[in-house]
């Protein structure tokens, strides 16, 4: 097993972080944690009437398997629970120990390079214009059979971005030493190649 190596990938909603993170993890043979799923699982429990702080403190691996965690309703609930400092604190240790596991780790989210892993060996900030991100998310949700309009998806993405950027606890902001990749006019293959090249530069 090789020494820990943490890759932090942050950015706004539907910027392509998930696809890029999976491809980067496969390329380097690292483990991958989609930290948005933690907040989505807490958000899903809020929708069921549970106190979000209790939900975050008692989260289990099964809670991350729920079928509707990708729905727009759960995404909105996730961004609402994500402003609560106690929720974020409850999820911190798990993320930090995942990041330092032997063999390397890729974590994607909003605050990985700034708060969770400020000493990550490589940091990326993946972004794209809001309209482009909404089109991609609309296509994904449509393919999954969700009844949503493009206008609704764009409004949802903008609302979550604003809440994520303006919150006091761990706001969405690029780390000073993050490499920014704007994927608006890139194919997914080009975005993955740009991410791998930026990380390779930090490995040597
Ligand atoms: O997939 P998408 O980019 O739309 O969202 P996600 O990564 O699954 O995150 C859902 C929500 O969780 C975000 O809008 C954030 O409010 C919150 N989140 C966070 O606050 N910190 C993270 N590290 C990851 C997600």
Measured in Å, residue 25 CA sits from the centre of ligand 1 at: 19
Measured in Å, residue 110 CA sits from the centre of ligand 1 at: 6
Q: With cut-offs at 50, 70 and 90, classify the pLDDT of residue 1.
A: low
Count other Cβ atoms within 10 Å, centred on residue 176: 9
User: What atom of ligand 1 comes closest to residue 34's alpha carbon?
Assistant: 7
Q: With cut-offs at 50, 70 and 90, classify the pLDDT of residue 168.
A: very high
Section 77-94 average pLDDT: 97
CATH code assigned at 101: 3.40.50.300
Could you list the residue range(s) of the whole structural domain that residue 102 is in?
A: 6-128+184-194
- Asked if residue 38 lies in contact with residue 110, where contact means CB atoms within 8 angstroms, the answer is no
Whether 165 maps to a domain, the answer reads: no
Q: Is 40 in the pocket of ligand 1 (CB under 6 A)?
A: yes
Q: What total of structural domains would you count in the chain?
A: 1
- For the chain, the average pLDDT equals 95
Q: With cut-offs at 50, 70 and 90, classify the pLDDT of residue 6.
A: very high
Count other Cβ atoms within 10 Å, centred on residue 167: 18
Residue minimizing CA distance to atom 23 of ligand 1: 109
CA distance 122 to 88: 22
Whether 170 maps to a domain, the answer reads: no
* φ, ψ for residue 178, nearest 5 deg: -85, 145
pLDDT given at position 10: 98
Whether 150 maps to a domain, the answer reads: no
Measured in Å, residue 204 CA sits from the centre of ligand 1 at: 31
Whether 100 maps to a domain, the answer reads: yes
pLDDT given at position 145: 87
pLDDT given at position 67: 76
Section 120-135 average pLDDT: 97
């Amino acid at each position: 097993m090789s020494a820990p190596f943490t890759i932090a990938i942050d950015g706004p909603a539907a910027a392509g972080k998930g696809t890029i993170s999976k491809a980067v993890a496969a390329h380097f043979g690292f483990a991958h944690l989609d930290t948005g799923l933690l907040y989505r699982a807490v958000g899903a429990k809020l929708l069921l009437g549970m106190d979000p702080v209790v939900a975050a403190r008692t989260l289990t691996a099964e809670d991350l398997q729920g079928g509707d965690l990708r729905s727009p309703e759960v995404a909105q609930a996730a961004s609402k629970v994500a402003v609560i400092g106690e929720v974020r604190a409850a999820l911190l240790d798990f993320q930090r120990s995942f990041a330092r596991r032997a063999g390397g780790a890729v974590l994607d989210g909003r605050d990985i390079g700034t708060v969770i892993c400020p000493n990550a060996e490589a940091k990326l900030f993946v972004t794209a214009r809001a309209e482009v991100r909404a089109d991609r998310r609309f296509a994904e949700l449509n393919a999954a059979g969700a009844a949503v309009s493009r206008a609704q998806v764009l409004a949802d993405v903008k609302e979550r971005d604003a809440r994520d950027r303006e919150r006091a606890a761990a706001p969405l902001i690029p780390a000073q030493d993050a490499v920014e990749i704007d994927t608006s006019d890139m194919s997914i293959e080009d975005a993955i190649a740009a991410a791998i090249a930026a990380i390779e530069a930090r490995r040597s």
